[in-house]
Amino acid sequence: MKFGAHTSIAGGVFNALERGASIGCEVIQLFVKNNMQWFSRRYSESDINKYFENSKKYNFFSIFGHTGYLINIAAPDGDTREKSIQSLQLEIELADSISLPFLVLHPGAHLGQGEQEGIQQAVKALNDVFKSTKNSRVKILLNAHLGRGPVSDTNLNILQRYFLTLMMPNGLPYALILPIYFRLATTLQHHRVGRT
């Protein structure tokens, strides 16, 4: 078993790796930008270079990204959902620029429109995001453990509905569905439903 922590990117994304190494982490998770803001600037070339230098220096077993907490792709049509989609696209681009393999995403809450409609909203948003970031290698980890509302329940039937409806027109790219992460006895199940 590998041990790690969620480390801060304050002062530069490369600092998350230094902070993880300073406390003996073997794996780390980081937000790719401020988790309570919709948008941010791209990383500078200097920050990216420092990140890769630290990545090589500390040789972590794995580094995961995590999306911001404002994102709610299960929300009804409107400003929140549109910003959520744009923010997720940006975060995938940021993750891609530092070669993160995964971004953990909480799909969000349906906000009164009903569980099934919330799932459909999230699925449509993910398919749109995957199309607009089709050259990215970043995979989305759907986390259904935390959040508000039934869409974020741990109910595996809900995750199954994501799996059955999250499709792409040109084949079924690859993603991971992660019901509960960073817990003992967690099982990662690999499904061809999101990104190659």
Instruction: Classify burial at 52, counting beta carbons within 10 Å of its beta carbon; exposed 0-12, middle 13-18, buried 19 or more.
Output: middle
Task: Give the pLDDT confidence score for residue 142 in this predicted structure.
Answer: 79
Encode the chain (196 residues) as per-residue pLDDT tens digits. 889 999 999 999 999 999 999 999 999 999 999 989 999 999 999 999 999 999 999 999 999 999 999 999 989 999 999 999 999 999 999 999 999 998 988 888 888 887 788 888 888 898 889 889 988 989 888 776 534 444 444 445 555 555 555 554 433 344 444 444 333 223 333 333 344 3
- Is 42 part of a structural domain of the chain? yes
**What one-letter code names the amino acid at 73?**
I
Tell me whether strands 62-66 and 139-143 are parallel, antiparallel or unpaired.
Answer: unpaired
Say if CB 38 and CB 82 are below 8 A apart: no
Rounded to whole angstroms, the Cα distance separating 173 from 193 reads: 5
Q: For the full predicted model, state whether its pTM sits above 0.75.
A: yes
- Is 38 part of a structural domain of the chain? yes
- Is 162 part of a structural domain of the chain? yes
β-pair partners for 63 = 28
Rounded to whole angstroms, the Cα distance separating 26 from 43 reads: 24
With tokens 């300073």, the residue in question is: 22
CATH no. for residue 131?
Answer: 3.20.20.150
Task: Give the pLDDT confidence score for residue 14 in this predicted structure.
Answer: 97
Tell me whether strands 139-143 and 175-178 are parallel, antiparallel or unpaired.
Answer: parallel
> Cα separations (Å) of 78 from 81, 91, 105?
6, 20, 20
Rounded to whole angstroms, the Cα distance separating 194 from 141 reads: 9
- Is 63 part of a structural domain of the chain? yes
With tokens 């073997």, the residue in question is: 26
- Which domain, by its residues, includes 118? 4-191
Rounded to whole angstroms, the Cα distance separating 147 from 143 reads: 9
- Is 157 part of a structural domain of the chain? yes
Say if CB 65 and CB 52 are below 8 A apart: no
Running DSSP on this structure, what letter comes out for residue 20? Answer: H
How many CA atoms lie less than 13 Å away from 139 in the CB half-sphere? 21
Say if CB 13 and CB 51 are below 8 A apart: yes
- Is 15 part of a structural domain of the chain? yes
- Is 196 part of a structural domain of the chain? no
Task: Give the pLDDT confidence score for residue 152 in this predicted structure.
Answer: 41
Number of domains composing the chain: 1
